[in-house]
């Protein structure tokens, strides 16, 4: 069964660029081996992450995230079954969005989906604040 979890969290403390880069590289490598698709956005000491994959795998990853001391005030935004992954054909299937251009590209990608499909529309509305 395909599943998605999307969450927002506050960084427990400021992370240096090198720490963020190491975290991003770890996530990219780990998610590719686990067949996880999605995106991670980081701005103003907040993370927004979208994970897509098999329910058991996603639940296990999210359980580890909830215990990770780099996060606080984790807010689960979506935790639901999905028919199709929306990030399956996006870039490398899991992307770290660091710049406004990255987010604009993702926004354009999500705009290609049928407006009747609520999942991409919900995700698109969640990333809007990260455009600022």
The beta strand positions in the chain, using DSSP E, are 2-11, 37-43, 46-54, 71-81, 94-97
**Number of residues assigned to the chain:** 132
Domain residue spans of the chain: 2-99
- CATH number for the domain formed by residue range(s) 2-99: 3.30.70.100
pLDDT of residue 56: 96
Q: What is the pTM of this model?
A: 0.79
Q: Residue 85 phi/psi, 5° resolution?
A: -75, 140
**Mean pLDDT in each 10-residue stretch from start to end of the chain (132 residues)?**
89 80 84 88 82 95 91 88 82 70 74 61 70 54
Quote the tokens at residue 76: 């689960």
């Amino acid at each position: 069964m395909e599943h998605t979890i999307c969450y927002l969290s506050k960084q427990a403390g400021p992370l240096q660029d090198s720490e963020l880069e190491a975290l991003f590289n770890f996530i990219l490598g780990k998610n590719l081996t686990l067949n996880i698709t999605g995106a991670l956005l980081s701005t103003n000491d907040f993370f927004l992450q979208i994970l897509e994959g098999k329910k058991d795998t996603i639940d296990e990853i999210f359980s580890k995230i909830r215990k990770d001391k780099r996060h606080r005030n984790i807010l689960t935004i979506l935790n639901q079954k999905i028919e199709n992954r929306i990030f399956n054909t996006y870039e490398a299937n899991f992307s770290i969005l660091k710049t406004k251009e990255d987010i604009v590209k993702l926004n354009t990608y999500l705009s290609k989906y049928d407006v009747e499909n609520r999942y991409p529309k919900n995700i698109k509305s969640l990333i809007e604040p990260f455009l600022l």
